Amino acid sequence: MLKCMTAKDLREWEVYYELEPFGPPAMNLNFGRLLALFMNLYRGKGTSSVDAESVAFGDFAKRGIRQSVEEMKDVLMGFVKKGKG
């Protein structure tokens, strides 16, 4: 593919990706949207809503964030408990 792709083609794909991300980053944001939807549906009275960006899984490795499975579970269970409060 790289043998037949010109620099212009590559740049067009880069611009398209900036406008409409695809692959894992897009899947993370879509999962965040779904998670936020359910969190907002089942949140308790008087609790504030959440947005997709605040619960989407980002590129944690680049930000230096490391979590164990148990830590991730605790965070998600905290969201559930907070929503029921």
Question: Are 76 and 36 spatial neighbours (Cβ–Cβ below 8 Å)?
Answer: no
- In this prediction, residues 55-77 reach a mean pLDDT of 71
* Confidence (pLDDT) at 8: 92
Statement: residue 59 has pLDDT above 60: no
DSSP state of 21: -
Q: Tell me what the pLDDT averaged over the chain comes to.
A: 80
Report the alpha-carbon distance of residue 25 to residue 61 in Å, rounded: 13
pTM of the model: 0.51
Rounded percentage of the chain residues whose pLDDT exceeds 70: 86
Percent of the chain scoring above 90 in pLDDT: 7
Average pLDDT over residues 14-34: 84
